[in-house]
Amino acid sequence: MLETTVTEENLNPFKIAQRQIEKAASLLQLPEEVVEILKQPKRVLSVTFPVKMDNGKVKVFEGYRSQHNDAVGPTKGGIRFHPDVTLDEVKALSMWMSFKCGVVGLPYGGGKGGVICDPREMSKGELERVSRAFMEAIHEIVGPEKDIPAPDVYTTPQIMGWMMDTYSRLRGHNSPGVITGKPLIIGGSKGRNEATARGCVFAIQDALHDMGKATEGATVAIQGFGNAGRIAARLLAELGCNIVAVSDSRGAIYDPEGLDLAKVERLKDHSNILEYGDSHIIPANQLLELDVDILVPAALENVITSHNASQIKASIIAEAANGPTTPEADAILFEKGVKVIPDILANAGGVTVSYFEWVQNLMNYYWSEEEVNGKLKVAMSDAYRAVQSLATRYKTDLRTAAYMISLERISKAMEARGWV
């Protein structure tokens, strides 16, 4: 069969993840069988489940859990609640989790879950019933030694709490280690809520330092104002960066002099960030092309493509989101000399502190916030240095170098187990 030429970009995240694996595997000259194993998730569970809604009607929801590879350890990764969730997206996200855990050297493989639903249109009671029903539907394949979920897009510590409770009831004993990102009172870790953003900020600081640029006064545009984007904005502002633009699913605001973050946060909580002022509203896609030092995509996949990559003016892109940049855009940005800190490194702080949470749950002994943040800093800086020096050695981009580090770890584990 003829290969189709890539004239139009393929935006299927699963296909993109496979291409990223192939690129790094060929630099490492990995055996074909290793690549074949890694190009597919090991197990995918697709479920439908009924939930009684507030209006008395029953609605049937659809969800997935994908477990990519467990050669290194149990699979790990969040559960996303979003109307646009697809099976291929969840599969790709589980693959990215394997490589993310590999970059920071966590003893986990990758997993991911998703439920097609819109929490913005659900009551708290409906959200609880969907969360508990989804956990009930997948409980046989998850567990502290099997597969450990966590928060992701539009899922929260409260949702993790409900899911942990449902799992524990089904098993007949308390099982905090089944899920991370829980509320503190039932076994959550200090620092977990801020960890994705904090890790991303550590990576940005390392990149700025590498490029001989100052943190103080650096201008930043952030796409997405959820857990990662919002806290990254706050932490970067604390370091003296100037947050000039932010957006959420409703639109984007921009002030070249710098936004008043406290005001943006107030609007986010109580009304709509677009009420910041009419003169500050910009078209959402324009945020990515602003003349800033640092661009932080912190929302969803495929926002930087061959269509806008050449317009990007930032010198650093820190991917707080998973999969925001397509391979075609990566090539353009590399050519332009933009430093793209890839998702599997830039947002690895979340799963790193999830790992700390799981360790604390298994020991039943809890750490101070200083201890958690200190360990996170070491993990992120070590990972950044390893990725940067491999990229320099192979004259390649940071994403490919990060994949190479992970692929090597995972393939060694598969070899040690006798899979290949």
Site for ligand GLU in 58-97 (CB under 6 A): 76-78
- Sheet strands side by side (includes 281-282): 281-282, 251-254, 242-248, 219-223, 294-297, 316-318, 339-341
Active-site annotation holder among 76, 91, 100, 112: 112
Q: Would you count residue 361 as binding ligand GLU (CB under 6 A)?
A: no
- Which one of 71, 117, 133, 150 is in contact with ligand GLU (CB under 6 A)? 150
Known catalytic residue at 263: no
Shortest distance, position 43 Cβ to ligand GLU, whole Å: 17
- Which one of 127, 241, 345, 351 is in contact with ligand GLU (CB under 6 A)? 351
Q: Would you count residue 166 as binding ligand GLU (CB under 6 A)?
A: no
Handedness of CA 291, 295, 299, 301 (dihedral sign): positive
Q: Would you count residue 347 as binding ligand GLU (CB under 6 A)?
A: yes
Q: Are 147 and 141 in contact (CB under 8 A)?
A: yes
Residue nearest to ligand GLU (CB): 78
Handedness of CA 162, 163, 167, 173 (dihedral sign): negative
Q: Would you count residue 350 as binding ligand GLU (CB under 6 A)?
A: yes
Taking the C-alpha atoms of residue 65 and residue 112, their distance in angstroms, rounded to an integer, is 6
Stretch that binds ligand GLU, among 246-254, 286-294, 348-356, 387-395 (CB under 6 A): 348-356
Residue 159's φ and ψ, nearest 5 degrees, are -65, -40
- Mention every residue, 6+ apart, whose C-beta is less than 8 A from residue 33: 420
Shortest distance, position 65 Cβ to ligand GLU, whole Å: 13
Q: Would you count residue 180 as binding ligand GLU (CB under 6 A)?
A: yes
* Residue (of 357, 375, 348, 399) closest to 110 by Cα position: 348
Shortest distance, position 354 Cβ to ligand GLU, whole Å: 3
Taking the C-alpha atoms of residue 65 and residue 75, their distance in angstroms, rounded to an integer, is 11
Q: Are 109 and 74 in contact (CB under 8 A)?
A: yes
The site that binds ligand GLU (CB under 6 A) totals a number of residues, namely 12
Give me 301's structure tokens: 């996949």
Site for ligand GLU in 96-115 (CB under 6 A): 100
Q: What are the catalytic residues?
A: 112
Q: What residue ranges bind ligand GLU (CB under 6 A)?
A: 76-78, 100, 150, 152, 180, 322, 347, 350-351, 354
